[in-house]
């Protein structure tokens, strides 16, 4: 097997990561995702009052348990993002997948090259099934963010010895992949991406759903929840920034698209073994839109959090002040602690 071990990211990889990051900052245009024009009714006084209540939520702290919290207005990068000396450093392995060979997503406007970047911790023992997180839009790749965080937190025994699979989106097909409320994307990951990861890197990925996490922002956040909701036999842990839990790409199975989560899926189904960390910003998308139109990100996330609380889920909902949609300063401050919460209860490998 020809393994390409990267010490630094290639110019091509960095460019693709930047494009993925840009795409992650907003959902696909409404015309590509839902029929008709996006509704433009203004938020009602009750909508604005509901959002205003979020600013009064208690401050999020390292000791916080399940529940609703707020952060800001000031932010600073978490120390776990800084590469430390004197601890083991994992490696990044990178490869590309041409969509022409995909049976599920061959490319909306023709084939694309999909970048796959895999972090493998130095402590990983070959042949051992590894816990892992799957990150949409190559989240965590830029500036070695996820690698540094995992290096530090694994060394400090705050996280298990785990792999990170950071995958670029499908370009023009991003909304089709992420906003479609169905098991199709999760099945694509299972049948095409993960086997290729194992082949290219030599790592063995666990099949244990307790040891698998999904992660994304915006439409990628909706995708993270969709993967776990429809394939709970594969994923139990979810992390979402500015999740697009709104009516963006509807279908007969999900008439209101990802708004079905707060409206119907969670309220009307038995509790699933999911552990969820979710965020939304005070300046997020649709903040001035009427909740009845199901296109207000803060209200959709607020309502999902309320359902999770009423159903007894393990969850944290964090509302960030002085911030925008998938705001990088929020992610840089909160990601290590969010990861620690999401992986709470999973055993740390003994020394």
DSSP per-residue letters across 28-56 = PPHHHHSSSPPP-PBPPHHHHHHHHHHTT
Residue 135 and residue 119 in contact, taking contact as beta carbons nearer than 8 Å: no
Check pLDDT > 90 for residue 16.
Answer: no
Q: Is residue 1 part of a domain?
A: no
Q: pLDDT tens digits for 151-176?
A: 999 999 999 999 999 999 999 999 99
pLDDT of residue 349: 75
What's the mean per-residue pLDDT of the chain? 91
**Total residue length of the chain:** 351
Q: Is residue 303 part of a domain?
A: yes
Q: Is residue 83 part of a domain?
A: yes
Q: What average pLDDT does the segment 48-70 reach?
A: 97
Q: Is residue 350 part of a domain?
A: no
* pTM summary value: 0.90
Q: Is residue 183 part of a domain?
A: yes
Q: Quick check: bond before 197 cis, omega within 30?
A: no
d(CA 15, CA 172): 17
Check pLDDT > 50 for residue 78.
Answer: yes
Q: Report which of residues 95 and 8 the model is more confident about.
A: 95
pLDDT of residue 127: 96
User: With bands split at pLDDT 50, 70 and 90, how would you rate the model's confidence at 40?
Assistant: confident
Residue showing tokens 């790409």: 249
d(CA 315, CA 2): 41
Domain that holds residue 282: 7-35+43-342
Q: pLDDT tens digits for 304-349?
A: 999 999 999 999 999 999 999 999 999 999 999 999 999 999 999 7
Helix 328-342 vs helix 145-155: angle between axes, to the nearest 10 degrees?
40
CATH value at residue 303: 3.40.50.1820
Check pLDDT > 60 for residue 9.
Answer: no
pLDDT of residue 24: 35
At a CB cut-off of 8 Å and minimum separation 6, what does 258 contact?
Answer: 179, 181, 222, 225, 226, 243, 244, 245, 246, 247, 248, 249, 300
Check pLDDT > 60 for residue 147.
Answer: yes
pLDDT of residue 351: 63
Check pLDDT > 60 for residue 43.
Answer: yes
pLDDT of residue 34: 41
Q: Report which of residues 47 and 32 the model is more confident about.
A: 47
Q: Is residue 291 part of a domain?
A: yes
pLDDT of residue 39: 61
Check pLDDT > 80 for residue 252.
Answer: yes
Q: Phi/psi at 269 (nearest 5 deg)?
A: -130, 155
Going 182 to 183 to 188 to 189, the CA torsion angle's sign is positive
Going 138 to 143 to 147 to 153, the CA torsion angle's sign is negative
Question: Among 140-144, 255-259, 346-350, whose mean pLDDT is lowest?
Answer: 346-350
Residue 169 and residue 19 in contact, taking contact as beta carbons nearer than 8 Å: no
pLDDT of residue 7: 33
Question: Among 13-17, 46-50, 100-104, 298-302, whose mean pLDDT is lowest?
Answer: 13-17
Q: Report which of residues 30 and 135 the model is more confident about.
A: 135
Please state, as a whole number, how many other Cβ atoms lie within 10 Å of the Cβ of residue 95.
17
Q: Is residue 2 part of a domain?
A: no
d(CA 270, CA 266): 8
pLDDT of residue 10: 36
For the chain, what is the domain count? 1
Percent of the chain with pLDDT over 90: 87
Helix ranges (DSSP H) in the chain: 11-24, 30-33, 45-54, 145-155, 174-178, 184-188, 194-201, 219-230, 260, 297-311, 328-342
């Amino acid at each position: 097997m020809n393994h390409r071990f990267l010490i630094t990211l290639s110019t091509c990889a960095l460019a693709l990561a930047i494009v993925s990051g840009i795409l992650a900052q907003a959902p696909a245009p409404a015309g590509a995702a839902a029929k008709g024009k996006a509704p433009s009714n203004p938020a009602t006084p009750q909508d604005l009052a509901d959002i205003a209540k979020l600013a009064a939520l208690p401050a999020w702290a390292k000791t916080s348990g399940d529940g609703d919290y707020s952060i800001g207005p000031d932010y600073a990068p978490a120390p776990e993002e800084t590469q430390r000396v004197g601890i083991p450093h994992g490696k990044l392995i990178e490869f590309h997948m041409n969509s022409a060979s995909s049976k599920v997503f061959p490319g909306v406007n023709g084939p694309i090259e999909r970048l796959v970047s895999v972090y493998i911790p130095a402590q990983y023992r070959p042949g051992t099934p590894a816990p892992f997180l799957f990150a949409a839009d190559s989240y965590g790749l830029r500036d070695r963010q996820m690698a540094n965080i995992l290096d530090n937190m694994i060394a400090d025994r705050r996280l298990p010895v785990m792999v990170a699979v950071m995958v670029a989106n499908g370009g023009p097909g991003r909304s089709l992949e992420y906003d479609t409320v169905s098991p199709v994307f999760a099945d694509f990951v299972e049948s095409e991406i993960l086997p290729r990861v194992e082949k290219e890197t030599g790592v063995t990925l666990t099949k244990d759903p307790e040891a698998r996490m999904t992660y994304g922002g915006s439409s990628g956040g909706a995708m993270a929840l969709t993967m776990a909701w429809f394939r709970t036999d594969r994923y139990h842990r979810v992390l979402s920034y500015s999740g697009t839990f709104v009516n963006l790409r509807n279908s007969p199975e999900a008439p209101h698209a990802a708004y079905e989560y707060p409206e119907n899926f969670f309220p009307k189904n038995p509790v699933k073994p999911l552990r969820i960390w979710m965020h939304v910003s005070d300046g997020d998308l649709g903040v001035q839109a009427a909740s009845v139109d199901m296109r207000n990100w803060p209200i959709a996330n607020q309502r999902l959090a309320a359902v999770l609380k009423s159903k007894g889920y393990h969850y944290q909902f964090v509302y960030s002040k002085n911030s925008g949609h998938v705001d990088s300063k929020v992610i840089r401050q909160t990601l290590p602690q969010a990861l620690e919460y999401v992986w709470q209860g999973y055993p740390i490998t003994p020394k």
